[in-house]
Structures are given as structure tokens and as C-alpha cells.
Chain A
């Protein structure tokens, strides 16, 4: 019998047909009877006191039903790091002070969107502008404007990671290199903008439909700020049009629609416009990176010191996690004898920076991998060789931080080396850069302070053998609905089409923390597998009487066949077994429960993915224009569940990460984003995508369901670094300031030529003098 009958076979996503026929109903598409439309008024100031808000004119406009301001809130400061009070620093509607351009100040509900928009313009807010600060290196100085009363020098969070003797390491080093990097911001650009439909009824119950990565978080956070009990709130999110880290914190569309609906007892829908999406739904954390690295002349890594200042923006959000993870992944995926990281998250008067796909790791990987190539080049070592020499391996322990179980990094390096060699001699002005990376499979930390298991699942087997699977996870396009159904079918021994998945509804689904930090496959997957195993065991217990094994563990189900494992031909139909079991249980359906919370797995994650990526690019030496040619990735995600899904995740992450590398940026002027639209914000189009190839390196991760681990987020990590290295190998120029625009490359090449010329003239003159 085949080892697996369901997993490791490419399948259509279970919600694919709904998506290709236009039948998938997103929150964006919801229209309820008697529904109103809301708009949010936002601060035009980066830092200002609110002196007065006059809503009279707006309320008088025909069609306007309600206007709410900070006075209509409980005044609770909220945040997702609920365990740490001082990190809950964000009011849902600012009451006395605004701290960034785009901060919500008031909201209005009206009979249609146009009326709401008109009313928004009639709300009069009197501000007193305050001195503002935008650059973290300025904000941290003494005398800089203080953004929050509690944060001196605007320091929001600090992080320290250290192991080994760093000073000793530098002493022993043959070669020490220092580099400074400026890593830019990035917008998530979910195609479905943040939105919500809230409906409060006189019974005191609130239902919120929303586009989210975690309906559980939204429910709890709404309960916090509205003063309701968690279970008086129901959050529903069937389809989510992209998340990428931007949709698991409480968002203005959610709380404003809820506030308005509670006031009116009518459904209120709020959909953010694209410019609001850019200005006020958080973004990737920009960082200033200082790296000092000591190595032996054979390339052995001895010591690394990293100092990071992140541009936090006005509030904490998930930024504290990004600060930790960038420090942790700076040392990844290598063995460092000693390492010291000091990170400072600094408040600034800009849009808060927070979680975005990769979560601090893309910043770390870009800086680390760029520097490694510079070191390799300085020492005359092959870039793949230096990585191989220092690669993590199965069983390695990151001191005080993490234990690596499965690790296919060296196989990935081999595969990429093979491909690089197959490219032969490259044309002029073309280069190949590689970058190695790793990522977590869900986080261990519980800053949210949930008493629940991190993931739970419920399986119900019905009389006809069909299976209802209830999960708390959220599919935002990454395909977890399909992955989890596959895990359930495999474990239970049925086919994928036997599973009916229920998700996206806090009333009917068990708790899961949501789709972020690459946690669903491993964490929710483990819970599903456990629930399916629980249900299966009940069926096997009843089947045991018929099949007569020595012990029930000798039985299994595969492809709807209950059998003795040693003699697979001896068995009975799954359908008969299910019927018998239900009959034997007083006619109750078979219910299996599963849950998962990592424990004793270090500080970060229960498991880590690994990979190596090669990017081949052309650089026009005149204009500096970069053209991507090829991108090949060898990725170890443990046991692959759905190969089609893995491939899609890898390619998609690459496109987003390449944009981060050379086209996407959020330039600001005094805290105002200058390109808050999809004309001026440059995401890659089909014409910019290179040919992509994915080489899967399978390992077995003991902590993951069937050996599976992360496969979607980590791929955002390597591309900027690999691209930066490709440019370096094509031109000899290393740009340490993302994004690597054509203009930056052009300027650097021109500067180099000027210097060369100056040197030459200098030499000619000196010769003449002689």
C-alpha cells in the first residue's frame, strides 16, 4: 500500500471552483437588508492635539444616521500584545492626540457611501499641531518630540539576544567587516482592502463579517474595546482577499462599523479605500542595521554583532515581534559561535510598522546575506562554499533560543549549486546571487494572553461516512483549507472529497490563533491530525471486535478500508465500520477532538523551514535598470502536503519579495506617504516576473503533521538579498539601501567611474611631475 493516499499529491484547492466562477463571497460583497455605509475621518496631521470636534453639520446632512468620535468609545487603549499593558497604546478613535497621518478620528454612517463621504467632509476638527519626528535615529535623541507620555526618548521596545563570547570571537577573527544598511518599508497590498460589516441587535449580540487572518483575535479585541463579553460577539470570515500580515490586528473598519452599529442597531459596512489602505493599515518595518562580523580566513563564522533601530511608527502593533524576529533571524540559518543583538523599536510620527510576511526576517536576511557575499568576495571564497561551511544542521541548538530538528539546508545548497553551475558562463552585465534562509512554523510566544490551546480542531464522522471538519484557522489564499482537509482525510483514511470543512466563524469553529507566522500547517495541522486520530480510534475500537487484532493499534484505515496493518487484505468497509460505531454509541455521531500548543520547544517556534534561492538578473550598466531573468529556489518544508499549494506559495512570495528588493517603497514627506495608490506604488506585473523553478527538498519534521512544516512566508526572506548579490556579481556594486532602484545602481556605477577617472588623472599628473 502507498505510504500516503491523500497528501503529497497535487490537488485543486477545495474552494477553487467558488473562486474561478466568481461565486466566492467576500466581505466586500456583502449586502444586508437595511444596511448603512460608513466612512472614517482620519488625521491630516502627523502629531497634533485634538482641541475640538464639531459633528453638528455632518449630522444634519440628509441621509446621515450617526457620527462617532473618541467620546463615544470607552477610551480603552488597545493592542495585540495584551499581556503587556504598556504595549497596548492605541486608541481606536483618538480622543486627545493624533500621532500619525491617517489615524482615525471620527466615523460616520449614512444611507450610502457618497452621503457618508460628504458627511465626512462636514466634520470639523480643530487641531493644534505639535512638533513631530519621523526618523528613528532622530526620535531617539534627547530633546526630540516625545510621542507617548510613557516612552522616554521614544523607545518603545528593546530586545537583546546574546550567546557565546563575542569579544573573544572578534579577537580570534582573521577578518572583520562592518556594514550599515537601511532597509525600507513595504505595503501589503491585499487585493481586498480592509473591511467589515457589523450588525448589532437589541438582544445585545454583535456579528461582524470581516476580511481577516484571525477571527478569534478580532473577536477578543473587539470585546476588549467595546466592553462586551467575548461570546456576545460573532466574527465571520469565509473568504479573505489576501492578508500578508496586515489582517490579524484590530482594524479601523472593524471597530468603527461596530461602534456605529451598536449605536444604531443596524448593519454598517465599511470598506477602506486604497489610499486609506496604504496610509493606515500598517506596513513592513523599516530598519537601520549595523553589522559587525568576524570570520576565520577559511570563512568560518566566529562572531557577529548586530545593532538595529526600527522605525516603529506611532504605535506598537506587532512591531515588538518583528524586533525580536529580526534579531533571531539575523543569525539564521548558520552556526555562529558567538552573537550579540541589540534592537530598539523607536516611536515615530508615521504609520505604525508591524507584521508583514516574513516578520522582520526579510530585513535580517537581506542584510546578512548581502554581507556574507561581500565577506566571501573579500576572502576569495565561493558564495555557496562559505554558506555550506557554516550551515545549520539537524540537531543544532541555537543557544538559549531554539532547537533545530529537521534541516535540509545542505541539500538545498547542493541543488542550487548544481543549477548555478548549469548556467555556465553568463553574458556581460549579468549576475547570479544566492541567499540562504529559514523561517519558523508558527510562534511559541503568547503575548496575546490566550488561555486556549494555540490550535484546536473538531472532527465529526456522520452516518454516511462523510466528515465534518471544524477548524479555527483562516484561509486568506494560502490554501490552508485544502491542506487541513488533506491532513484530516489522510489521518482518518478517507478521501479528500469526503471532508466538508467548516471555518471562518467563531460561533461554530474551535479556537485557533489565526493565519500568521506560518503557523497553520504545523499547529492547526497537528490539531486536525489529532482530532482525526481521535475519531479514527473510535471507529477502530468498534471494528476490533470484527477483525480481531491483538490490540487496537494493529488496525488502521486507508482509502475507506478498515484493516489489519499486517494483513491489509483482511478488513471491512469504512462505511460499515462507521455505521456500526454510531450504532454502538447510542446513535451519536463520532466526534474527535484535537488541540496543539507547543511546549518545551525553545523561544521561537517548534520547527523551522530552510532554503536557498538563486536569482539571476541583468543590470544595464548605463541606466542601472534591473531585469530579473531566473529565480530558482530549493526549499525544505518537511513533508509536502499539497505540492500545487507549495509551488504557488513559493512563486508568490518571490514576486512580493522581489518587489521589496527593487521596486516597492513607501517614501514619505513629513510623515505623509507620497505614493498611496497602485499607480505610483510599484508592485511587479506579469511582465516583470522571471522564470521560476522550485526544487523541493523533503525532510521529515518530527514536530509537524506527517513531518510537514512552514512553506509560504519564509520565501519572502531571501529574494532581496539574492538580488542584491546578483547585482553585486554583475557590476561589482553593492547597494545597502533598499529598494535597489535603477537610479541607485546608476549613481553607484557613475561614482565608481568618476573615482577611477580621478585616480587615473591623478596618476597621469604625478607621472608628468616626475
Chain B
């Protein structure tokens, strides 16, 4: 049963932040509400004020420039990202990720900002955007700030957002040349959340022989989307071969801290991290080294 609340609808960002400042002690932002309403129905969340930003058009955009990279307004729906020609051309991994994220209905109404702010470690966008080095921009009444998405996630369903803050934008800085990103989740029912997921971003050196940079992010394998930094370090500056891949994947699996639940044991999840890490590193590497 959803408890009664005061419904507040803001028409501008400024207004939203004003309201948020006033009601910060006991409020929740709703946009797509695809996760929030379920929590509210279960009585897990029952705010006194619900601030609706679904209509805040000024946060609904996808912008790209070759100097600054990509900027996505927080209330952009999953479906808009999935269908965007620009995203498809420049960040195909995002389209891929979106196509496998929940149902069409959820993607039609749910938003990228809402997904990230929910802080669910099994979410798909987290690992991919972290692999892409994403930065989030937040705002309160007084100021705006940016921080790496990686630092945005703090714990299970907990983010760095302060109670008077709103997530307003996701940025992907210019991607270095010869860089490719791959993402996959393991599940049994397509479009379910991943039992684990792995995103890998590989950058090749000019010759396309050695790995210049690597970013590996594990989803559903820790309380937050987690970088496998030791595994990344093993790859940097190296020529890739089967043995190194296996070792790096093994390392990533050791870095994972999954927990058992009804869907999989801890061991199996660790194994899946290993298998997916190898696959994603290979997939992104194969693309990266061919890029000009």
C-alpha cells in the first residue's frame, strides 16, 4: 500500500531545487518511478513529499560535441537513448545495453538519471557508463558539482547525492582514440537484470599492438558497480594474449565480492565474472585495435 504524500510538481529546474531545499528532510524525487513506485508499494519508502520532475523538459536532452563529448539530461528515457541516431553512431555499446535493459514499457517511461540515482548494483547503465569514464553533474539550490560516476555509487542503493541535491546530467568525456567498450550481462531470461555483468573499455596504442589503457567494471558483483583495478593494471602496457587474458580475468574474479542469492551462488558468480571479463576484454580489444 502506498502511503499518502504531498505531490509537488515543479516546472523548472530552479523551482525544483527550491522545493527540494525546503522539503529535503522527507522527500523523494520521482521521474519515471519504475523502481521507486515498487518500493513505495511495499512500504519500504514512504516520503511525505514527492517531487515530480517527469515534465522537466530542460533536463531532457542528448548533446554531443567533439570537444566536450556527450551530455545526457537526467530525465532522458532509456528508450530515447536506445533510439538516438547520435548514440547509435558514436556509442553503440549504450544502444546495446539499453536494448537489453528490462522491458520496452520500462524503457519507455524510466529514465537514465532515475536508474543511476536508484543505486542498484545490478543496474545496467552503471558499469557501462563507468567504463566510459562518465561524470555526473548534480545540483542543489546553491551550487552545481560534478563527480566521477564511479564515486557516485557508495553502497547498496546508496549514492553520493545529498538530500537537497538532484542528479541533472551525465557526461561522457571525449573518448580517447582507439578505444572501444563492450558490455554484457549474464542472465537466463533475456532482459532480466544480470546475475553478473561486465563492461570493459580497451584502448590500444598507436600501433594497435599493446593495450594503452583498460577499464573493467563489474556489475552485480559488489555493493556498487566495481572497477577491477588490479585486472586493468595487468593489461596496461601489455600485448594481449590468451594467457594474460586468463590471468586478468582470474584477477577480476578475485576482486569481485558477490553475494549468494536465489539466482546464483557466490562461486558461480565469481566464475561468471571471470568468463565475462575475458569475453568483454577480448571483444572491446578486437574493436579497439582496428580503430584509427
Contact = CB atoms under 8 A, between A and B. Distances in A.
A743 B262 CA distance: 12
Interface in A682-702: 682, 684-685, 687-688
Interface stretch (A110-118, A401-409, A430-438, A578-586): A110-118
A682 B1 contact: no
Contacts of A117: 1
Contacts of B188: 625, 662-663, 682, 688, 741-742
A742 B1 CA distance: 36
Interface in B261-286: 262-265, 268, 271-272, 275
Given A113-B1, A680-B263, A743-B265, A685 B275 contact: no
Interface string A719-741: 00000000000000000000001
B190 interface: yes
A741 B265 CA distance: 12
A114 B191 contact: no
A663 B189 CA distance: 9
B61 interface: no
Nearest to B38: A679
Interface in A711-770: 741-743, 746-747
B1 A114 contact: yes
Contact of A674 (B262, B264, B268, B275): B262
B186 interface: yes
A680 B275 contact: no
Interface string B142-163: 0000000000000000000000
Interface string B188-207: 11111000000000000000
B188, B192, B272: which has the most chain A beta carbons within 10 Å?
B188
A623 interface: yes
Contacts of B262: 665, 667, 674-675, 680
A665 B263 CA distance: 10
Interface string B1-39: 100000000000000000000000000000000000000
Nearest to B192: A682
A675 B186 CA distance: 19
Interface in A430-475: none
A622 interface: yes
A746 B275 CA distance: 12
Given A680-B262, A743-B264, A743-B268, A625 B186 contact: yes
B1 A688 contact: no
Contact of B189 (A114, A675, A684, A743): A684
B188 to A, nearest CB: 6
B208 to A, nearest CB: 28
Given A622-B275, A743-B268, A682 B186 contact: no
Given A622-B275, A746-B268, A118 B189 contact: no
B14 to A, nearest CB: 35
Contacts of B191: 685, 687
B186 A118 contact: no
A119 B262 CA distance: 32
> How many of chain A's residues touch chain B, expressed as a range?
20 to 34
A625 B185 CA distance: 13
Interface hub of B190, B262, B264, B271 (most chain A Cβ within 10 A): B262
Nearest to A742: B188
Contacts of A688: 188-190
Contacts of B271: 623, 746
Contacts of B264: 743
Contacts of B190: 685, 687-688
Nearest to B271: A746
Nearest to A667: B262
A688 B187 CA distance: 11
B263 A685 contact: no
A688 B188 CA distance: 9
A118 B263 contact: no
A687 B192 CA distance: 11
Nearest to A739: B188
A675 B191 CA distance: 18
Contacts of B268: 743, 746-747
Nearest to B272: A623
Contacts of B1: 113-114, 117-118
A118 B2 CA distance: 11
Nearest to B4: A114
A241 B275 CA distance: 42
A187 to B, nearest CB: 13
Contacts of A674: 262
Contacts of A667: 262
B189 A682 contact: yes
Contact of A623 (B186, B192, B263, B265): B186
Interface in A606-633: 622-623, 625
Contacts of A687: 189-191
A674 B261 CA distance: 9
Contacts of B265: 743
A743 B269 CA distance: 9
Contacts of A680: 262-263
Contacts of A742: 188
Interface string A649-668: 00000000000001101010
Contacts of B263: 680
Contacts of A663: 188-189
Nearest to B269: A743
B221 to A, nearest CB: 15
Contacts of A665: 262
A680 B186 CA distance: 15
Interface in B50-89: none
Contacts of A685: 189-191
A308 B288 CA distance: 58
A680 B271 CA distance: 21
Contacts of B186: 623, 625
Given A623-B272, A685-B190, A743-B264, 9 more contacts: A625-B188, A665-B262, A682-B188, A684-B189, A685-B189, A687-B190, A688-B189, A741-B188, A746-B268
Q: Top 5 nearest A-B pairs by Cβ distance?
A: A687-B190, A743-B268, A117-B1, A674-B262, A114-B1
22 contacts: A117-B1, A623-B271, A623-B272, A623-B275, A625-B186, A663-B188, A667-B262, A675-B262, A680-B262, A682-B188, A682-B189, A684-B189, A685-B191, A688-B188, A688-B189, A688-B190, A741-B188, A742-B188, A743-B268, A746-B268, A746-B271, A747-B268
Interface of B: 1, 186, 188-192, 262-265, 268, 271-272, 275
